[in-house]
Amino acid sequence: MTTPFIVRHSDSPPGPLLTPEPVPAGAPTDVPNRGLDTGLLDATRDGTAFDWSAVAGYSALVLLALGLTVVAATTLWWMLYAWRSKGTLESTGFSRTPHAPTSTFTLLVPGRHEEEVLGQTLDTLAAQTHPHVQIIAIVGDDDPGTEAVAREAAARHPDRVQVVVDDSVPKNKPKALNRALPFATGDVVGVFDAEDEVHPDLLRHIDSRFTETGAVVVQGGVQLMNFRTSWWSLRNVLEYYFWFRSRLHFHAGANFIPLGGNTVFVRRDALERNHGWDAECLAEDCELGVRLSSQGAKVVVAYSPDYVTREETPGSLKSLYKQRTRWNQGFLQVLRKGEWRALPTRSQRTFARYLLAMPFLQAATGLLIPLSVCLILFAKVPTVVALLTFVPLAPTLVTLAVEVAGLGEFGRLYGEKVRARDYARLILGTVPFQVFLALAALRAVFREARGTRNWEKTEHTGAHRETGTEAVSPAPEAARQQVAA
């Protein structure tokens, strides 16, 4: 037999086919426990030794772990919706060249103690390239500073800007919007916040989106920008990025969508039919989205980094805490109000229930992961059970990897340099932010249970506008100059 390498015994017939044996392996000599442990068999076969309470405990632990895994994994999957495939990603954007304008627009801009930012926002909105825009600034009757700024803007743009004074008590955003709705004349009503930075071409693209899809609601992208301000602002910015870039498209596809608070556009007839916003709800945007979805209205989301509405994070961790409490409580109210029960199929209703309860499930995930780690460290459980309790960690860590990737993309898209320090902040902030979210969710539950339902306003100072009141990001500035020219 010949090998390709060595010639040997070329004349003899082929020998028996034997598996070559390695040199007698130096198996470790210190391996303990050789020989069958007779106790092992006895233990497995001895029915009396069966400990039911332990099994119940283990089962609870395993079920908890699997539940947490499901929550974390679905959250991750929805967060990644836009990148599922190339086709999905392409479907999330605006079309490159917008159709000719066909609708008329009314933009509602409620402002409360926001004299620093409102004037500039109204100027930007007035500079929209869309030909038919009515802008209504809504100010409180107890807020002369903001009212003065709004009136000045109206004087600068008499053909576009109007001022409506809200005299309701106590004041909140849905009441302000409802106060202004009767003055709206456009086919489509849009909402912006006083601190928003809006691209001058946005309305043309939104209009085009209405024309292309025949939608009742179009939700545009909103993006927080100041990711360098603090560790939590970085997390807050990324939350917005994934929410508007990806997750909302998933909700639109599932025909159940909690709308965002601004850059949201609704056909006026649909709004009037529904008597506007729910003045008692703390998350009026979410509530409106749920109500319209339940009626079967078509909702479309469009995101493009160029036309995204830029905002700032809340000024302090405390005000972010209040804002998050308000949202969570709003979700709870929407869940209790039960408009979602009108959804046609059982699976949609289950989905709605799951989604509206999500802030609390997420909070639970955040709180229970450390708990399960403690259990593993200090409780004696079988190996399999211990391993299973680690499973929820897997989607959490993948989420972290995705967030790192998202931060890099955010930096590239918006021309911001992301430094190693930012990545470190992102990673180190994971657990504290989860705890923070959990606390906000718990506070929301407490407030709702005690019937405390007052509106805690988020203050804005214009941190996303780079220098004082003048500078805006280069893109809108350049575009506005073109419009002026």
Partner 1 sequence: MTALTGTRAPTPVVRAGRRRPAARAAAWVRAHRRALVWLSPVLAVGAVVNLVNLGGAPQRIDDEGTYTAQAWAVTNLGELAHYTYWYDHPPLGWLQLAAYTELTGAFARWDVAVLAAREAVVVASLIATVLLWVLARRVGLSRPAAAATGLIFLVSPLALQFHRTVYLDNVAVPWLLLAFVLATNRNRQLAAFAGSAVAFGVAVLSKETFLLALPVLVWVMLRASHRETRRYTLSVAASLLVLIGGSYLLLAAVKGELFSGADRVSLMDGIVFQLSSRAGSGSLTDPDSLLNRTLGMWWQLDQVFIVLGLLSAVAALFLRRLRPYAALVLGLALFMLRPGGYVPVPYVIALLPFGALLIAGVAGDAVARLRARGATGAGPRTGPSRSSRRARSWRSRCGAPSCAASCSRTSTGRCARPRHGSRRTCPVTSAWSWTTPCGWTWCGPAGTAGTSSGTTSSTPTRRSAPSLPTAGAISTT
Measured from the CB atom, the residue of 24 and 170 that comes closer to partner 1 is 24
Token readout for 467 is: 């220098």
Asked if 73 interacts with partner 1 (CB under 8 A), we say no
Residue 258 CB, shortest distance to partner 1, in Å, is: 23
209/247 Cα distance (integer angstroms): 19
Asked if 39 interacts with partner 1 (CB under 8 A), we say no
479/129 Cα distance (integer angstroms): 9
Sheet with 105-111, side-by-side order of all strands? 161-166, 133-140, 105-111, 188-191, 264-267, 217-220, 299-302
175/162 Cα distance (integer angstroms): 18
Residue 16 CB, shortest distance to partner 1, in Å, is: 9
Q: What would the x/- binding string for partner 1 be over residues 132 to 151, using CB under 8 A? A: --------------------
Residue 228's identity, in one-letter code, is R
Size of the site for partner 1 (CB under 8 A): 53
78/192 Cα distance (integer angstroms): 26
Measured from the CB atom, the residue of 81 and 256 that comes closer to partner 1 is 81
One of 183, 351, 390, 455 touching partner 1 (CB under 8 A): 390
Positions 362 through 381 that interact with partner 1 (CB under 8 A): 376
Measured from the CB atom, the residue of 398 and 439 that comes closer to partner 1 is 398
Asked if 63 interacts with partner 1 (CB under 8 A), we say no
Positions 93 through 132 that interact with partner 1 (CB under 8 A): none
One of 155, 379, 405, 424 touching partner 1 (CB under 8 A): 405
Residue 44 CB, shortest distance to partner 1, in Å, is: 6
Residue 209 CB, shortest distance to partner 1, in Å, is: 21
Do 360 and 445 contact (CB within 8 A), yes or no?
Answer: yes
Asked if 49 interacts with partner 1 (CB under 8 A), we say no
One of 62, 66, 398, 445 touching partner 1 (CB under 8 A): 398
> What are the two backbone dihedrals, phi and then psi, of residue 474, each rounded to the nearest 5 degrees?
-55, -40
Asked if 407 interacts with partner 1 (CB under 8 A), we say no
Measured from the CB atom, the residue of 427 and 471 that comes closer to partner 1 is 427
340/65 Cα distance (integer angstroms): 29
Would you list the DSSP string of 242-276?
HIIIIIHHHHHHTT--PPPSSSEEEEHHHHHHTTS
286/304 Cα distance (integer angstroms): 22
- Quote the radius of gyration of the chain (alpha carbons, Å): 29
Residue 441, beta-bridge partner list: none
One of 10, 33, 38, 345 touching partner 1 (CB under 8 A): 33
Q: Which residues of the shown chain bind partner 1 in the complex (CB under 8 A)?
A: 1-6, 8, 14, 17-20, 22-28, 30-36, 40-41, 44, 80, 83-87, 89-90, 376, 383, 386-387, 390, 394, 397-398, 400-402, 404-406, 408-409
